[in-house]
Amino acid sequence: MSTAPTNHGWKFFRAGDFDQVSLETGADLIALDQLDQKLWVALACPTTGLCFDKRTLQLIDSDNDQRVRAPELIAAVQWASSLLKDPDELIRAPQALPLAAIDDGTQAGADILAAARQILALLGKPDTTAISAEDIADTTGVLAFTAFNGDGLITEDTTDDERLKALIRDIIAFEGGTVATDRSGKPGISRENLEHFMSAAEDYADWWQRSQSDPSLLPLGAATTEAAATLAAVKTKIDDYFTRCRLASFDVRAAAALNGEEKEYLRLSALPLSAASIDVAALPLARIAADQSLPLTQDLNPAWEAAVTRLHQHVITPLIGARSTLSAADWAKITTAFAALDAWQTDNPSDAMHALGIERVRAVLNRELKTALDHLITKDLAAAEHIAALETVEKLIRYCRDLHRLVCNFVNFRDFYHGDRKAIFQAGTLYIDQRSCELTLIAEDATKQNAMAGMAGTYLIYCNCVRRGSSEQRHIVAAITDGDSDNLMVGRNGVYYDRDGRDWDATITRIVDNPISLRQAFWAPYKKLVRLIEEQVAKRAAAAEASSNTKLENAAANAANADQTAPASAPRKIDVGTVAALGVAFGALLTALAAIAGYVSGLLKLPFWQLCLAIAALLLIISAPSLIIAWLKLRRRNLAPLMDACGWAVNARACLNVPFGARLTAIAHL
């Protein structure tokens, strides 16, 4: 942050009741680092929720924290101006950057100019004299034309050799989530991916070779793998059987419980059973008894008969010969014969390589293939410097087009206060209650909004916006700065148009009540009087209706009980005191009416212009207190808290005075 005196001559304009620096020339932009940041309107803004090019904001946001700060904006301006012959090009903000505007007198400028011309040549426009962001197409479109794009990644499209294509596919499948995306948008492999894959392939080949050199790993030769799978399918159940038999030998009382209690069989008898039933498979493999051998051909649990038969045929008979029962000792011999194989399989260095198969692994270990891929990666990395220049072209184009607009919504708020175009934080227009609201902001952080909104001193309505036929939602806050609030309430609907012209259904979810306009304040006393009269009339009418209903009920009751009603008493005589009181009241009323009539007749005798002045003075006397209070509150309306709640760091008290507020909210007029 610069606080040192500056030699640059600054101009200022006043808007929002505070002075703002005017940025009218390229020299003004270049000198931004000399402008005391206490004079900046904002010191930071978010990179989201703004009607501004998101890619440009990403490029300016050098630390990728999703916020643009003053030092980053200064650095962007100085970098862009150093590559232009005339810094006023930033003020002109061309949609397409003229190639002649690039300063090729420096090495950096010459590189960018050469890269821009190459891009245009790739796009088939070598004679074009200007390049736009659309030509760059976020760089990806251009880089898709080139096999080597400098990111150190190669894809299938990098080579025409089918063997190398297949190897690249294998490496991508093996590396999985660690594979990065190439600048062309396709998955690619790096040198690290290649080395890791080849190292894993060598480890797997060495591991597999152990099975060929160690006879103990293949007790049944080529049939060992199938036999091991057959054994694994029943090993846990057979271990369970012999363990139960050992427990029965340890204590004869355990045999009955280990075979399954009678109530368990009673429960199963009520179920529809089959050999594949889970309940049946949970029962012991065969009948449990002390030192019992496992029957192999009969008396087996139906759920396990097929698996035991396969074990008998493919494992037991080839290893120890055919038999009808299997003893615990024979079972131990079988499991011992496969123990070395189990340990070897546990040491498998890579399941992914196992899925490829040993033949494919041996094929990819061809040193020629690895050398060819390594050469392609080296060739891709060699283009890094050239590709970086291509990206710099995009950066310069976007900066020239967008930087001046950004500083006019950051260093000052010219776009907002001058009204020739909307500010970047204005998210659209809300139409509701016969008015349009132009000061509309994206309000996604409800916590910050709740904390800051009340400090703005502005009448705010928060709306939830949805697009019909889609799942899109948006939360906005709109400032009502003209009209009145008589018909604004939570639940009212309106239509919100975003800056792209899309329409959203908007529903008010919250209101922050504050004065809206002097017109509302002027008529407030009379509206209040009308409401009071309406309330009193309603109360009197309700009381009269209740009294009438009571009289009707009494009359009906008297008619129904006429034969039981006592004779009516004689009417009471009028009291003299009552008559006197009525006379006094009637006289006072006549006196008051006479006085009012005399005052009105006196006014009517005045000239017409004096009568108008008298009426205007009377109205002003009645409305003056309300107007004064409203004016004091309206002059305190402050945009800064509202924008701070949306992620900005506003550095000034950006006022919304009465005339400017009338511009931000338009009321329907015939």
Other beta carbons within 10 angstroms of residue 358's beta carbon come to: 16
CA distance 87 to 80: 8
Which tops the pLDDT comparison, 656 or 375?
Answer: 375
pLDDT for the residue 305: 87
pLDDT for the residue 416: 93
Which of the residue ranges 16-25, 172-181, 592-601 would you say has the lowest mean pLDDT? 592-601
3-class SS of residue 592: helix
Other beta carbons within 10 angstroms of residue 562's beta carbon come to: 7
Average pLDDT, the chain: 83
* Average pLDDT rounded to a whole number, residues 184-205: 88
Summarize pLDDT for 481-496 with one digit per residue, the tens.
Answer: 888 888 899 999 999 9
Taking the CA atoms of 51, 84, 419 and 69 in sequence, report the sign of the dihedral they define.
positive
Summarize pLDDT for 76-96 with one digit per residue, the tens.
Answer: 999 999 999 999 999 999 999
**Residue 3: pLDDT band by 50, 70, 90 thresholds?**
very low
Residues forming a β-bridge with 442: 476
pLDDT for the residue 1: 43
CA distance 344 to 99: 67
- Closest C-alpha to 109, from 85, 142, 139: 85
In this prediction the pTM is 0.62
Summarize pLDDT for 412-456 with one digit per residue, the tens.
Answer: 999 999 877 899 999 999 999 999 999 999 998 888 888 888 788
Residues forming a β-bridge with 181: 187
Residues forming a β-bridge with 638: 655
DSSP letter, residue 285: S
Which of 220-234, 297-311, 497-511 shows the highest mean pLDDT? Answer: 497-511
* Average pLDDT rounded to a whole number, residues 57-80: 95
pLDDT for the residue 630: 58
Predicted confidence (pLDDT) at residue 328 exceeds the cutoff of 60:
yes
* Average pLDDT rounded to a whole number, residues 388-408: 91
* Average pLDDT rounded to a whole number, residues 646-653: 91
* Average pLDDT rounded to a whole number, residues 182-200: 88
**What percent of the chain lies above the pLDDT cut of 90?**
31
pLDDT for the residue 304: 87
The amino acid present at 380, given as its one-letter code, is D
**Residue 279: pLDDT band by 50, 70, 90 thresholds?**
confident
CA distance 440 to 646: 11
pLDDT for the residue 526: 60
pLDDT for the residue 589: 60
CA distance 663 to 394: 37
Predicted confidence (pLDDT) at residue 185 exceeds the cutoff of 70:
yes
Which of the residue ranges 37-41, 503-507, 535-539, 621-625 would you say has the lowest mean pLDDT? 621-625
* Average pLDDT rounded to a whole number, residues 234-253: 87
pLDDT for the residue 2: 42
Summarize pLDDT for 591-630 with one digit per residue, the tens.
Answer: 666 665 665 566 556 576 665 776 666 556 665 666 666 5
Q: Match 């259904």 to its residue by tokens.
A: 505
DSSP letter, residue 223: G
**What percent of the chain lies above the pLDDT cut of 70?**
84
Residues forming a β-bridge with 476: 442, 463
- Closest C-alpha to 242, from 310, 318, 334: 334
Predicted confidence (pLDDT) at residue 355 exceeds the cutoff of 80:
yes
* Average pLDDT rounded to a whole number, residues 336-356: 81
**Residue 221: pLDDT band by 50, 70, 90 thresholds?**
confident
Predicted confidence (pLDDT) at residue 122 exceeds the cutoff of 70:
yes
Which of the residue ranges 69-83, 188-202, 383-397, 564-578 would you say has the lowest mean pLDDT? 564-578
pLDDT for the residue 100: 94
Other beta carbons within 10 angstroms of residue 190's beta carbon come to: 21
Q: How far apart are the first and last CA of the chain?
A: 52
**Residue 498: pLDDT band by 50, 70, 90 thresholds?**
very high
CA distance 562 to 541: 31
pLDDT for the residue 474: 92
Contact 458, 656 (CB under 8 A): yes
Length of the chain: 670
The amino acid present at 408, given as its one-letter code, is C
pLDDT for the residue 403: 96
Predicted confidence (pLDDT) at residue 525 exceeds the cutoff of 70:
no
* Average pLDDT rounded to a whole number, residues 95-123: 89
CA distance 457 to 144: 53
Structure tokens at 346: 């546990």
CA distance 492 to 506: 8
pLDDT for the residue 595: 60
**Residue 547: pLDDT band by 50, 70, 90 thresholds?**
confident
Residues forming a β-bridge with 22: 11
